[in-house]
Amino acid sequence: MNLILRPVAAEFAKILSTRMWWILALVLFGYIALLAGGLSALFGGVESGAISPDSMNSGGGAGLSTLGSLPPLIYSFAASVGYVFPVLLGALATTGEFRHQTLTPTFLATPRRDRVLGAKTIALFVVGAVLGLVGLAASVGVGALVFNGFGIDPLLADGETWALIGRTVLAMALWAVIGVGLGVLVPSQVASIVIVLAFTQFIEPLLRFASTFTEVTADIGKFLPGAASDALVGASFFTLASPGGSVLEPWQGGLVLLAYGLLATGFGYLISWKRDVT
Amino acid sequence: MPIGAVIEFSNITKRFGQTTAVNDLSFTVEPGRVTGFLGPNGAGKTTTLRMLLGLVTPTSGTATFGGLRYRDLPRPLDTVGAALEAASFHPGRTASNHLGVYTLAAGLPRTRVAEVLQLVGLAEHADQRVGGYSLGMRQRLGLAYSLLGDPGVLVLDEPINGLDPEGIKWIRGFLSSMAAEGRTVLVSSHLLSEVQQSVDDVIIIAKGELVHSGPLSSLDTNVAPQVIVDSPTRETLIAALTDAGLAFTSGRTGLIVAVPDPGQVGHIAFAAGVELSVLHRQKAGLEDSFLALVEGGDSL
Protein backbone atom coordinates (compact mmCIF):
# COMPACT_ATOMS: atom_id res chain seq x y z
CA MET A 1 0.00 0.00 0.00
CA ASN A 2 2.87 2.33 0.81
CA LEU A 3 4.05 1.85 -2.72
CA ILE A 4 1.23 4.01 -4.03
CA LEU A 5 0.49 6.14 -0.95
CA ARG A 6 4.05 7.47 -0.72
CA PRO A 7 4.22 8.81 -4.25
CA VAL A 8 0.72 10.27 -3.83
CA ALA A 9 1.86 12.09 -0.67
CA ALA A 10 4.92 13.33 -2.58
CA GLU A 11 2.75 14.60 -5.44
CA PHE A 12 0.53 16.50 -3.02
CA ALA A 13 3.61 18.03 -1.40
CA LYS A 14 4.87 19.09 -4.84
CA ILE A 15 1.65 20.94 -5.62
CA LEU A 16 1.32 22.56 -2.19
CA SER A 17 4.97 23.66 -1.95
CA THR A 18 4.80 26.06 -4.88
CA ARG A 19 2.58 29.10 -5.30
CA MET A 20 0.78 28.06 -8.47
CA TRP A 21 -2.16 26.26 -6.87
CA TRP A 22 -3.34 29.14 -4.70
CA ILE A 23 -2.71 31.74 -7.38
CA LEU A 24 -4.96 29.74 -9.73
CA ALA A 25 -7.51 29.21 -6.94
CA LEU A 26 -7.56 32.93 -6.20
CA VAL A 27 -7.99 33.93 -9.84
CA LEU A 28 -10.65 31.24 -10.30
CA PHE A 29 -12.56 32.55 -7.30
CA GLY A 30 -12.37 36.17 -8.41
CA TYR A 31 -13.29 35.41 -12.02
CA ILE A 32 -16.27 33.20 -11.16
CA ALA A 33 -17.45 35.51 -8.37
CA LEU A 34 -17.43 38.45 -10.76
CA LEU A 35 -19.23 36.54 -13.50
CA ALA A 36 -21.76 34.85 -11.22
CA GLY A 37 -22.40 38.04 -9.29
CA GLY A 38 -22.77 40.18 -12.40
CA LEU A 39 -24.99 37.82 -14.35
CA SER A 40 -27.16 36.81 -11.40
CA ALA A 41 -27.70 40.49 -10.69
CA LEU A 42 -28.60 41.11 -14.33
CA PHE A 43 -30.95 38.12 -14.68
CA GLY A 44 -32.27 38.53 -11.16
CA GLY A 45 -32.99 42.17 -11.85
CA VAL A 46 -34.89 41.36 -15.02
CA GLU A 47 -36.75 38.42 -13.46
CA SER A 48 -37.81 40.42 -10.43
CA GLY A 49 -38.72 43.46 -12.49
CA ALA A 50 -36.03 45.64 -10.97
CA ILE A 51 -34.52 45.99 -14.45
CA SER A 52 -36.97 46.63 -17.28
CA PRO A 53 -36.84 43.88 -19.92
CA ASP A 54 -36.98 46.60 -22.55
CA SER A 55 -33.54 47.71 -21.55
CA MET A 56 -32.17 44.40 -22.81
CA ASN A 57 -31.68 43.92 -26.51
CA SER A 58 -32.32 40.22 -26.53
CA GLY A 59 -36.08 40.29 -26.85
CA GLY A 60 -37.02 40.58 -23.25
CA GLY A 61 -37.81 38.58 -20.20
CA ALA A 62 -39.90 35.99 -21.99
CA GLY A 63 -36.70 34.42 -23.32
CA LEU A 64 -35.23 34.21 -19.87
CA SER A 65 -37.95 32.06 -18.46
CA THR A 66 -37.27 29.53 -21.24
CA LEU A 67 -33.76 29.27 -19.91
CA GLY A 68 -35.29 27.39 -17.06
CA SER A 69 -34.36 27.97 -13.51
CA LEU A 70 -31.68 30.63 -13.07
CA PRO A 71 -29.74 29.46 -10.01
CA PRO A 72 -28.43 26.17 -11.51
CA LEU A 73 -27.30 28.09 -14.58
CA ILE A 74 -25.31 30.55 -12.50
CA TYR A 75 -23.99 27.85 -10.17
CA SER A 76 -22.72 25.81 -13.12
CA PHE A 77 -20.29 28.61 -14.03
CA ALA A 78 -17.87 27.05 -11.55
CA ALA A 79 -17.25 24.27 -14.07
CA SER A 80 -18.53 25.56 -17.40
CA VAL A 81 -16.34 28.66 -17.17
CA GLY A 82 -13.86 27.63 -14.48
CA TYR A 83 -12.74 24.29 -15.98
CA VAL A 84 -9.72 25.88 -17.62
CA PHE A 85 -8.12 26.29 -14.15
CA PRO A 86 -7.83 22.61 -13.15
CA VAL A 87 -6.65 21.77 -16.68
CA LEU A 88 -3.93 24.39 -16.36
CA LEU A 89 -2.90 23.17 -12.91
CA GLY A 90 -2.73 19.57 -14.12
CA ALA A 91 -0.75 20.50 -17.21
CA LEU A 92 1.64 22.68 -15.19
CA ALA A 93 2.17 19.93 -12.62
CA THR A 94 3.32 17.54 -15.34
CA THR A 95 5.15 19.85 -17.72
CA GLY A 96 6.93 21.48 -14.77
CA GLU A 97 8.64 18.15 -14.08
CA PHE A 98 10.07 18.16 -17.59
CA ARG A 99 10.88 21.85 -17.60
CA HIS A 100 12.69 21.91 -14.25
CA GLN A 101 14.17 18.45 -14.72
CA THR A 102 12.62 17.27 -11.48
CA LEU A 103 11.86 13.97 -13.19
CA THR A 104 15.40 12.97 -12.22
CA PRO A 105 14.97 13.16 -8.41
CA THR A 106 11.39 11.93 -8.78
CA PHE A 107 12.33 8.78 -10.67
CA LEU A 108 15.32 8.21 -8.40
CA ALA A 109 13.02 8.20 -5.38
CA THR A 110 10.32 6.16 -7.17
CA PRO A 111 11.88 4.20 -10.03
CA ARG A 112 8.48 2.76 -11.03
CA ARG A 113 7.36 5.50 -13.37
CA ASP A 114 3.84 4.17 -13.83
CA ARG A 115 3.33 4.59 -10.07
CA VAL A 116 4.53 8.18 -10.24
CA LEU A 117 2.12 9.04 -13.03
CA GLY A 118 -0.72 7.22 -11.27
CA ALA A 119 0.07 9.11 -8.07
CA LYS A 120 0.10 12.41 -9.93
CA THR A 121 -3.28 11.61 -11.46
CA ILE A 122 -4.76 10.82 -8.04
CA ALA A 123 -3.28 13.94 -6.44
CA LEU A 124 -4.47 16.21 -9.24
CA PHE A 125 -7.93 14.60 -9.15
CA VAL A 126 -8.22 15.63 -5.50
CA VAL A 127 -6.75 19.11 -6.05
CA GLY A 128 -9.07 19.55 -9.06
CA ALA A 129 -11.99 18.73 -6.78
CA VAL A 130 -10.75 21.38 -4.34
CA LEU A 131 -10.64 23.90 -7.19
CA GLY A 132 -14.21 22.81 -7.92
CA LEU A 133 -15.16 23.72 -4.35
CA VAL A 134 -13.41 27.08 -4.73
CA GLY A 135 -15.30 27.75 -7.97
CA LEU A 136 -18.57 26.75 -6.32
CA ALA A 137 -17.86 28.93 -3.31
CA ALA A 138 -17.74 31.76 -5.82
CA SER A 139 -20.66 30.80 -8.08
CA VAL A 140 -23.02 29.48 -5.38
CA GLY A 141 -21.85 31.79 -2.63
CA VAL A 142 -22.07 35.00 -4.59
CA GLY A 143 -24.94 33.84 -6.83
CA ALA A 144 -27.20 32.80 -3.94
CA LEU A 145 -26.47 36.03 -2.11
CA VAL A 146 -27.51 38.11 -5.12
CA PHE A 147 -30.63 35.98 -5.79
CA ASN A 148 -31.62 36.43 -2.17
CA GLY A 149 -31.21 40.15 -2.61
CA PHE A 150 -33.68 40.11 -5.53
CA GLY A 151 -36.08 37.88 -3.64
CA ILE A 152 -35.48 34.91 -5.93
CA ASP A 153 -35.27 31.46 -4.31
CA PRO A 154 -31.60 30.41 -4.55
CA LEU A 155 -32.81 26.75 -4.44
CA LEU A 156 -30.30 25.87 -1.76
CA ALA A 157 -32.83 23.60 -0.06
CA ASP A 158 -33.31 21.74 -3.34
CA GLY A 159 -31.63 18.33 -3.54
CA GLU A 160 -31.11 18.82 -7.28
CA THR A 161 -28.95 21.89 -6.58
CA TRP A 162 -26.71 19.84 -4.30
CA ALA A 163 -26.50 17.07 -6.88
CA LEU A 164 -25.36 19.68 -9.40
CA ILE A 165 -22.76 20.90 -6.93
CA GLY A 166 -21.49 17.35 -6.47
CA ARG A 167 -21.31 16.76 -10.24
CA THR A 168 -19.47 20.08 -10.64
CA VAL A 169 -16.81 18.98 -8.16
CA LEU A 170 -16.43 15.71 -10.08
CA ALA A 171 -16.17 17.55 -13.40
CA MET A 172 -13.43 19.84 -12.09
CA ALA A 173 -11.54 16.86 -10.67
CA LEU A 174 -11.71 15.10 -14.05
CA TRP A 175 -10.49 18.24 -15.83
CA ALA A 176 -7.38 18.25 -13.66
CA VAL A 177 -6.78 14.63 -14.72
CA ILE A 178 -7.13 15.71 -18.36
CA GLY A 179 -4.53 18.39 -17.62
CA VAL A 180 -2.10 15.75 -16.39
CA GLY A 181 -2.74 13.77 -19.57
CA LEU A 182 -2.18 16.80 -21.77
CA GLY A 183 1.04 17.52 -19.88
CA VAL A 184 2.54 14.11 -20.63
CA LEU A 185 1.23 14.22 -24.18
CA VAL A 186 2.77 17.68 -24.80
CA PRO A 187 5.66 17.99 -22.30
CA SER A 188 6.61 21.46 -23.52
CA GLN A 189 5.12 23.78 -20.93
CA VAL A 190 4.60 26.71 -23.26
CA ALA A 191 2.98 24.53 -25.92
CA SER A 192 0.74 22.92 -23.31
CA ILE A 193 -0.48 26.25 -21.95
CA VAL A 194 -1.11 27.59 -25.44
CA ILE A 195 -3.09 24.46 -26.30
CA VAL A 196 -5.17 24.70 -23.11
CA LEU A 197 -6.02 28.35 -23.66
CA ALA A 198 -6.58 28.14 -27.42
CA PHE A 199 -8.66 24.98 -27.18
CA THR A 200 -10.82 25.89 -24.20
CA GLN A 201 -11.34 29.57 -25.02
CA PHE A 202 -11.57 29.49 -28.78
CA ILE A 203 -11.37 26.23 -30.73
CA GLU A 204 -13.79 24.13 -28.73
CA PRO A 205 -16.53 26.76 -28.36
CA LEU A 206 -16.36 27.28 -32.13
CA LEU A 207 -16.45 23.55 -32.83
CA ARG A 208 -19.37 23.08 -30.47
CA PHE A 209 -21.25 25.91 -32.08
CA ALA A 210 -20.49 24.69 -35.60
CA SER A 211 -21.42 21.12 -34.74
CA THR A 212 -24.99 22.16 -33.97
CA PHE A 213 -25.60 23.02 -37.65
CA THR A 214 -26.36 19.44 -38.72
CA GLU A 215 -27.64 16.44 -36.84
CA VAL A 216 -24.67 14.26 -37.70
CA THR A 217 -22.10 16.77 -36.45
CA ALA A 218 -24.20 17.43 -33.38
CA ASP A 219 -23.93 13.76 -32.52
CA ILE A 220 -20.17 14.06 -32.74
CA GLY A 221 -20.04 17.47 -31.09
CA LYS A 222 -21.61 16.22 -27.89
CA PHE A 223 -18.51 14.12 -27.32
CA LEU A 224 -16.24 17.17 -27.28
CA PRO A 225 -14.73 17.46 -23.79
CA GLY A 226 -16.42 20.76 -22.97
CA ALA A 227 -19.79 19.41 -24.09
CA ALA A 228 -19.26 16.24 -22.06
CA SER A 229 -18.36 18.35 -19.04
CA ASP A 230 -21.51 20.46 -19.41
CA ALA A 231 -23.52 17.25 -19.76
CA LEU A 232 -21.99 15.92 -16.55
CA VAL A 233 -22.74 19.12 -14.64
CA GLY A 234 -26.23 19.14 -16.11
CA ALA A 235 -26.65 22.84 -16.79
CA SER A 236 -24.64 25.38 -18.65
CA PHE A 237 -25.06 28.62 -20.44
CA PHE A 238 -23.66 27.08 -23.59
CA THR A 239 -26.12 24.19 -23.66
CA LEU A 240 -29.03 26.51 -23.04
CA ALA A 241 -27.85 29.05 -25.59
CA SER A 242 -27.86 26.43 -28.35
CA PRO A 243 -30.99 24.43 -27.65
CA GLY A 244 -30.62 22.47 -30.92
CA GLY A 245 -27.55 20.65 -29.65
CA SER A 246 -27.95 17.11 -28.45
CA VAL A 247 -26.61 16.39 -25.00
CA LEU A 248 -25.26 13.33 -23.23
CA GLU A 249 -26.64 12.03 -19.96
CA PRO A 250 -24.63 13.28 -16.95
CA TRP A 251 -23.09 9.86 -16.30
CA GLN A 252 -22.16 9.54 -19.96
CA GLY A 253 -20.58 12.97 -19.86
CA GLY A 254 -18.55 11.90 -16.83
CA LEU A 255 -17.35 8.76 -18.55
CA VAL A 256 -16.39 10.68 -21.69
CA LEU A 257 -14.35 13.15 -19.60
CA LEU A 258 -12.69 10.29 -17.73
CA ALA A 259 -11.90 8.61 -21.04
CA TYR A 260 -10.23 11.77 -22.35
CA GLY A 261 -8.13 11.98 -19.20
CA LEU A 262 -7.08 8.34 -19.16
CA LEU A 263 -6.42 8.13 -22.91
CA ALA A 264 -4.26 11.26 -22.87
CA THR A 265 -2.37 10.02 -19.81
CA GLY A 266 -1.92 6.54 -21.29
CA PHE A 267 -0.58 7.80 -24.61
CA GLY A 268 1.50 10.42 -22.84
CA TYR A 269 3.04 7.71 -20.68
CA LEU A 270 4.19 5.89 -23.79
CA ILE A 271 5.25 9.02 -25.69
CA SER A 272 7.14 11.01 -23.06
CA TRP A 273 6.99 9.56 -19.55
CA LYS A 274 8.74 6.29 -20.32
CA ARG A 275 11.48 7.90 -22.38
CA ASP A 276 15.06 8.43 -21.34
CA VAL A 277 15.58 11.25 -18.86
CA THR A 278 18.70 13.01 -20.07
CA MET B 1 26.62 2.06 9.28
CA PRO B 2 25.46 1.63 5.69
CA ILE B 3 27.41 -0.93 3.75
CA GLY B 4 28.51 -0.10 0.24
CA ALA B 5 27.51 -2.38 -2.59
CA VAL B 6 29.65 -3.25 -5.59
CA ILE B 7 28.60 -1.39 -8.72
CA GLU B 8 28.95 -3.52 -11.79
CA PHE B 9 28.62 -2.49 -15.38
CA SER B 10 28.58 -5.35 -17.83
CA ASN B 11 28.74 -4.81 -21.55
CA ILE B 12 26.56 -1.75 -21.33
CA THR B 13 25.87 0.01 -24.63
CA LYS B 14 23.71 3.00 -25.51
CA ARG B 15 22.93 4.15 -29.00
CA PHE B 16 20.96 7.29 -29.76
CA GLY B 17 19.84 6.68 -33.33
CA GLN B 18 23.04 6.35 -35.37
CA THR B 19 25.38 7.63 -32.67
CA THR B 20 26.87 5.25 -30.15
CA ALA B 21 27.20 7.18 -26.90
CA VAL B 22 28.47 4.29 -24.80
CA ASN B 23 29.99 1.19 -26.33
CA ASP B 24 30.23 -2.16 -24.55
CA LEU B 25 31.46 -0.75 -21.26
CA SER B 26 32.35 -3.18 -18.45
CA PHE B 27 33.90 -2.31 -15.10
CA THR B 28 33.29 -2.62 -11.39
CA VAL B 29 33.40 -0.06 -8.61
CA GLU B 30 34.40 -1.32 -5.17
CA PRO B 31 33.15 -0.21 -1.77
CA GLY B 32 35.46 1.58 0.63
CA ARG B 33 37.20 3.49 -2.12
CA VAL B 34 36.62 6.69 -4.02
CA THR B 35 36.49 5.89 -7.71
CA GLY B 36 36.95 8.66 -10.24
CA PHE B 37 34.99 8.21 -13.44
CA LEU B 38 36.90 10.31 -15.92
CA GLY B 39 36.73 11.32 -19.51
CA PRO B 40 36.47 14.44 -21.62
CA ASN B 41 33.14 16.16 -22.11
CA GLY B 42 30.97 14.10 -24.39
CA ALA B 43 32.76 10.86 -23.57
CA GLY B 44 29.51 9.30 -22.32
CA LYS B 45 29.99 9.68 -18.56
CA THR B 46 26.59 11.16 -17.83
CA THR B 47 24.81 8.69 -20.10
CA THR B 48 26.59 5.83 -18.34
CA LEU B 49 25.60 7.11 -14.90
CA ARG B 50 22.02 7.69 -16.03
CA MET B 51 21.85 4.11 -17.29
CA LEU B 52 23.16 2.95 -13.91
CA LEU B 53 20.32 4.86 -12.23
CA GLY B 54 17.58 3.60 -14.52
CA LEU B 55 16.95 7.04 -16.02
CA VAL B 56 18.21 6.01 -19.46
CA THR B 57 17.45 2.57 -20.82
CA PRO B 58 20.56 0.82 -22.13
CA THR B 59 20.46 -0.49 -25.69
CA SER B 60 22.09 -3.61 -24.28
CA GLY B 61 23.96 -4.72 -21.18
CA THR B 62 23.25 -4.14 -17.52
CA ALA B 63 24.38 -2.00 -14.62
CA THR B 64 23.73 -3.25 -11.09
CA PHE B 65 24.26 -2.52 -7.40
CA GLY B 66 25.19 -5.71 -5.61
CA GLY B 67 23.50 -7.61 -8.44
CA LEU B 68 20.28 -5.58 -8.49
CA ARG B 69 19.24 -3.10 -11.15
CA TYR B 70 18.33 0.32 -9.75
CA ARG B 71 14.63 -0.13 -10.42
CA ASP B 72 14.65 -3.45 -8.55
CA LEU B 73 16.14 -1.98 -5.37
CA PRO B 74 13.56 -2.34 -2.60
CA ARG B 75 14.46 1.04 -1.08
CA PRO B 76 16.43 2.94 -3.72
CA LEU B 77 17.22 6.16 -1.83
CA ASP B 78 18.41 4.15 1.19
CA THR B 79 20.76 2.17 -1.03
CA VAL B 80 22.03 4.64 -3.59
CA GLY B 81 22.38 8.40 -3.37
CA ALA B 82 22.84 10.19 -6.64
CA ALA B 83 23.52 13.79 -7.57
CA LEU B 84 23.50 14.41 -11.30
CA GLU B 85 24.87 17.37 -13.14
CA ALA B 86 21.60 18.92 -14.19
CA ALA B 87 20.11 21.32 -11.66
CA SER B 88 16.88 19.47 -10.96
CA PHE B 89 14.88 21.89 -8.86
CA HIS B 90 11.66 23.80 -9.12
CA PRO B 91 12.88 27.38 -8.61
CA GLY B 92 9.79 28.30 -6.60
CA ARG B 93 10.26 25.59 -4.01
CA THR B 94 12.39 26.07 -0.89
CA ALA B 95 15.33 23.74 -0.34
CA SER B 96 13.57 22.26 2.64
CA ASN B 97 10.34 21.60 0.72
CA HIS B 98 12.28 20.26 -2.27
CA LEU B 99 13.90 17.61 -0.11
CA GLY B 100 10.67 17.09 1.85
CA VAL B 101 8.90 15.96 -1.32
CA TYR B 102 11.37 13.13 -1.78
CA THR B 103 11.41 12.03 1.85
CA LEU B 104 7.68 11.46 1.38
CA ALA B 105 8.25 9.56 -1.86
CA ALA B 106 10.90 7.36 -0.29
CA GLY B 107 9.19 6.95 3.08
CA LEU B 108 12.05 8.61 4.96
CA PRO B 109 11.58 10.64 8.14
CA ARG B 110 11.19 14.36 7.53
CA THR B 111 13.91 14.99 10.12
CA ARG B 112 16.45 13.86 7.52
CA VAL B 113 15.85 17.10 5.60
CA ALA B 114 17.34 19.33 8.30
CA GLU B 115 20.11 16.80 8.92
CA VAL B 116 21.35 16.65 5.32
CA LEU B 117 21.02 20.42 4.86
CA GLN B 118 23.19 20.83 7.95
CA LEU B 119 25.64 18.29 6.57
CA VAL B 120 26.17 20.17 3.30
CA GLY B 121 26.21 23.57 4.96
CA LEU B 122 22.87 24.87 3.72
CA ALA B 123 21.03 24.91 7.06
CA GLU B 124 20.62 28.67 7.11
CA HIS B 125 19.25 28.71 3.55
CA ALA B 126 16.77 25.88 4.13
CA ASP B 127 13.70 28.07 3.74
CA GLN B 128 14.97 30.08 0.81
CA ARG B 129 13.54 29.41 -2.65
CA VAL B 130 16.01 27.47 -4.77
CA GLY B 131 15.57 29.95 -7.63
CA GLY B 132 17.78 32.36 -5.69
CA TYR B 133 20.57 29.83 -5.11
CA SER B 134 24.05 30.18 -6.58
CA LEU B 135 25.53 27.35 -8.64
CA GLY B 136 27.61 26.23 -5.67
CA MET B 137 24.55 26.14 -3.41
CA ARG B 138 22.64 24.10 -6.00
CA GLN B 139 25.51 21.62 -6.11
CA ARG B 140 25.31 21.30 -2.34
CA LEU B 141 21.55 20.87 -2.48
CA GLY B 142 21.98 18.11 -5.09
CA LEU B 143 24.43 16.46 -2.73
CA ALA B 144 21.98 16.88 0.16
CA TYR B 145 19.38 15.03 -1.92
CA SER B 146 21.79 12.17 -2.50
CA LEU B 147 22.36 11.83 1.26
CA LEU B 148 18.68 11.73 2.28
CA GLY B 149 18.56 7.97 2.71
CA ASP B 150 22.05 7.68 4.26
CA PRO B 151 22.96 5.37 1.36
CA GLY B 152 25.89 2.98 1.12
CA VAL B 153 26.54 3.98 -2.47
CA LEU B 154 27.13 7.52 -3.74
CA VAL B 155 27.02 8.35 -7.43
CA LEU B 156 27.99 11.94 -8.10
CA ASP B 157 28.19 13.51 -11.55
CA GLU B 158 30.67 16.40 -11.68
CA PRO B 159 30.07 17.35 -8.03
CA ILE B 160 32.96 19.80 -7.99
CA ASN B 161 31.67 21.95 -10.86
CA GLY B 162 30.73 25.37 -9.64
CA LEU B 163 32.07 24.97 -6.09
CA ASP B 164 34.30 27.66 -4.63
CA PRO B 165 37.79 26.66 -3.38
CA GLU B 166 36.46 26.19 0.13
CA GLY B 167 33.68 23.97 -1.20
CA ILE B 168 36.16 21.94 -3.23
CA LYS B 169 38.30 21.36 -0.17
CA TRP B 170 35.22 20.40 1.82
CA ILE B 171 33.92 17.91 -0.75
CA ARG B 172 37.30 16.21 -1.06
CA GLY B 173 37.35 15.55 2.65
CA PHE B 174 33.72 14.53 2.52
CA LEU B 175 34.25 11.96 -0.25
CA SER B 176 37.22 10.42 1.54
CA SER B 177 35.32 10.14 4.81
CA MET B 178 32.37 8.52 3.02
CA ALA B 179 34.67 5.92 1.49
CA ALA B 180 36.47 5.42 4.80
CA GLU B 181 33.12 4.45 6.31
CA GLY B 182 32.91 1.62 3.80
CA ARG B 183 30.66 3.27 1.25
CA THR B 184 31.03 2.97 -2.48
CA VAL B 185 31.80 6.38 -3.96
CA LEU B 186 31.72 6.97 -7.72
CA VAL B 187 32.56 10.50 -8.82
CA SER B 188 32.70 11.67 -12.40
CA SER B 189 34.79 14.52 -13.69
CA HIS B 190 36.24 15.72 -16.95
CA LEU B 191 39.36 16.94 -15.18
CA LEU B 192 41.68 14.49 -13.45
CA SER B 193 43.32 17.31 -11.51
CA GLU B 194 39.94 18.12 -9.99
CA VAL B 195 39.60 14.73 -8.29
CA GLN B 196 43.21 13.53 -8.26
CA GLN B 197 43.62 14.34 -4.57
CA SER B 198 40.59 12.37 -3.46
CA VAL B 199 40.27 9.32 -5.69
CA ASP B 200 41.76 5.90 -5.04
CA ASP B 201 40.77 4.29 -8.33
CA VAL B 202 40.17 5.66 -11.77
CA ILE B 203 37.95 4.55 -14.63
CA ILE B 204 38.74 6.46 -17.80
CA ILE B 205 36.51 6.49 -20.85
CA ALA B 206 36.78 8.25 -24.16
CA LYS B 207 34.25 8.22 -26.98
CA GLY B 208 32.05 5.89 -25.00
CA GLU B 209 34.74 3.22 -24.56
CA LEU B 210 36.81 2.16 -21.61
CA VAL B 211 40.46 3.19 -22.04
CA HIS B 212 41.84 2.56 -18.56
CA SER B 213 40.82 1.28 -15.17
CA GLY B 214 42.80 0.67 -12.02
CA PRO B 215 44.26 2.41 -9.00
CA LEU B 216 45.28 6.05 -9.43
CA SER B 217 48.94 5.03 -9.18
CA SER B 218 48.55 2.85 -12.27
CA LEU B 219 48.43 6.05 -14.32
CA ASP B 220 52.05 6.73 -13.30
CA THR B 221 53.60 3.93 -15.25
CA ASN B 222 52.09 4.89 -18.52
CA VAL B 223 54.58 7.58 -19.46
CA ALA B 224 58.34 7.09 -18.95
CA PRO B 225 59.90 9.39 -16.35
CA GLN B 226 62.54 11.88 -17.38
CA VAL B 227 65.44 13.67 -15.76
CA ILE B 228 65.68 17.45 -15.63
CA VAL B 229 69.21 18.78 -15.43
CA ASP B 230 70.78 22.21 -15.73
CA SER B 231 74.11 23.89 -15.21
CA PRO B 232 75.34 27.48 -14.84
CA THR B 233 77.43 26.66 -17.89
CA ARG B 234 74.85 24.99 -20.01
CA GLU B 235 77.14 24.62 -23.09
CA THR B 236 79.54 22.34 -21.19
CA LEU B 237 76.61 20.26 -19.97
CA ILE B 238 75.28 19.95 -23.52
CA ALA B 239 78.70 18.85 -24.69
CA ALA B 240 78.96 16.28 -21.90
CA LEU B 241 75.55 14.81 -22.61
CA THR B 242 76.24 14.71 -26.33
CA ASP B 243 79.54 12.93 -25.70
CA ALA B 244 77.74 10.39 -23.53
CA GLY B 245 75.28 9.80 -26.33
CA LEU B 246 72.14 10.77 -24.38
CA ALA B 247 69.16 12.27 -26.15
CA PHE B 248 67.82 15.45 -24.60
CA THR B 249 65.69 18.44 -25.35
CA SER B 250 65.81 21.97 -24.02
CA GLY B 251 63.10 22.82 -21.55
CA ARG B 252 62.13 25.94 -19.67
CA THR B 253 63.88 24.89 -16.46
CA GLY B 254 66.78 23.00 -17.97
CA LEU B 255 67.56 20.09 -20.23
CA ILE B 256 65.14 17.19 -20.33
CA VAL B 257 67.01 13.93 -20.62
CA ALA B 258 65.13 10.83 -21.69
CA VAL B 259 66.52 8.50 -19.03
CA PRO B 260 64.80 7.42 -15.84
CA ASP B 261 67.82 7.63 -13.50
CA PRO B 262 69.12 11.02 -12.26
CA GLY B 263 72.24 9.26 -10.96
CA GLN B 264 73.31 8.36 -14.46
CA VAL B 265 73.09 11.99 -15.58
CA GLY B 266 74.84 13.17 -12.42
CA HIS B 267 77.70 10.78 -13.04
CA ILE B 268 78.22 11.99 -16.58
CA ALA B 269 78.32 15.59 -15.37
CA PHE B 270 80.70 14.73 -12.57
CA ALA B 271 83.03 12.84 -14.92
CA ALA B 272 83.05 15.82 -17.29
CA GLY B 273 83.59 18.29 -14.43
CA VAL B 274 80.39 20.18 -15.11
CA GLU B 275 78.79 22.04 -12.24
CA LEU B 276 75.08 21.31 -11.86
CA SER B 277 72.41 23.68 -10.64
CA VAL B 278 69.42 21.39 -11.16
CA LEU B 279 69.14 17.62 -11.14
CA HIS B 280 65.90 15.78 -10.50
CA ARG B 281 63.58 13.22 -11.85
CA GLN B 282 60.35 14.45 -13.33
CA LYS B 283 57.40 12.15 -13.44
CA ALA B 284 55.13 12.95 -16.30
CA GLY B 285 52.08 14.40 -14.53
CA LEU B 286 49.10 12.15 -14.03
CA GLU B 287 47.24 14.68 -16.10
CA ASP B 288 49.63 14.00 -18.99
CA SER B 289 49.00 10.25 -18.75
CA PHE B 290 45.30 10.95 -18.57
CA LEU B 291 45.38 13.16 -21.64
CA ALA B 292 47.51 10.64 -23.50
CA LEU B 293 44.94 7.93 -22.75
CA VAL B 294 42.01 10.06 -23.65
CA GLU B 295 43.54 11.34 -26.85
CA GLY B 296 44.61 7.82 -27.72
CA GLY B 297 40.89 7.19 -27.84
CA ASP B 298 40.64 9.73 -30.62
CA SER B 299 42.80 7.71 -32.96
CA LEU B 300 40.70 4.59 -32.55
Do B104 and B243 fall into the same domain? Answer: no
pLDDT per residue as tens digits for the range A260-276: 999 999 999 999 999 99
Cα B6 to Cα A262, B28, B147, B181, B203: the distances in Å are 41, 7, 18, 15, 15
Q: Establish if B161 belongs to a structural domain.
A: yes
Residues B200 and B175 sit within 8 Å (Cβ to Cβ): no
Residues B190 and B4 sit within 8 Å (Cβ to Cβ): no
Number of domain units in chain B = 2
Interface probe with B: pick from A3, A15, A104, most Cβ of B within 10 Å: A104
Residues B282 and B256 sit within 8 Å (Cβ to Cβ): yes
Do B11 and B149 fall into the same domain? Answer: yes
Q: Establish if B269 belongs to a structural domain.
A: yes
Do B93 and B160 fall into the same domain? Answer: yes
Range of the domain at B15: 7-220
Q: Establish if B266 belongs to a structural domain.
A: yes
Interface residues of B toward A, Cβ cutoff 8 Å, are 46-47, 50, 53-57, 70-71, 73, 76-77, 80, 82, 84, 86-94, 97-98, 100-102, 104-107, 145
B105/A6 CB distance under 8 A: yes
Residues B207 and B24 sit within 8 Å (Cβ to Cβ): no
| Cβ-Cβ contacts under 8 Å, B83 against chain A | none
Do B232 and B213 fall into the same domain? Answer: no
Q: What is the pLDDT along chain B (300 residues), one digit of tens a residue?
A: 678 899 999 999 999 999 999 999 999 999 999 999 999 988 999 999 999 999 999 999 999 999 999 999 999 999 999 999 766 899 999 999 999 999 999 999 999 999 999 999 999 999 999 999 998 899 999 999 999 999 999 999 999 888 888 889 999 999 999 999 999 999 999 888 888 888 999 999 999 999 999 998 888 765 667 888 999 988 899 988 898 888 888 877 788 888 888 888 899 999 989 999 988 887 667 777 787 788 764 433
- B77 to chain A, minimum CA–CA distance in Å? 6
- B256 in helix, strand or coil? strand
Q: Establish if B191 belongs to a structural domain.
A: yes
Q: Establish if B1 belongs to a structural domain.
A: no
CA atoms of B203 and A27, how far apart (whole Å): 55
Do B211 and B231 fall into the same domain? Answer: no
Q: Which of A10, A96, A111 sits opposite B71 (nearest CB)?
A: A111
Interface residues of A toward B, Cβ cutoff 8 Å, are 2, 6-7, 9-10, 13-14, 17-20, 96, 100-112, 276-278
Do B104 and B124 fall into the same domain? Answer: yes
Do B72 and B209 fall into the same domain? Answer: yes
Do B228 and B216 fall into the same domain? Answer: no
Here the CATH number for the domain that contains residue B250 is 3.30.70
Q: Which of A13, A109, A278 sits opposite B106 (nearest CB)?
A: A109
Do B94 and B34 fall into the same domain? Answer: yes
Q: Establish if B295 belongs to a structural domain.
A: no
pLDDT per residue as tens digits for the range A127-172: 999 999 999 999 999 999 999 998 888 898 888 899 999 999 999 9
Here the CATH number for the domain that contains residue B153 is 3.40.50.300
Residues A277 and B88 sit within 8 Å (Cβ to Cβ): no
Do B75 and B125 fall into the same domain? Answer: yes
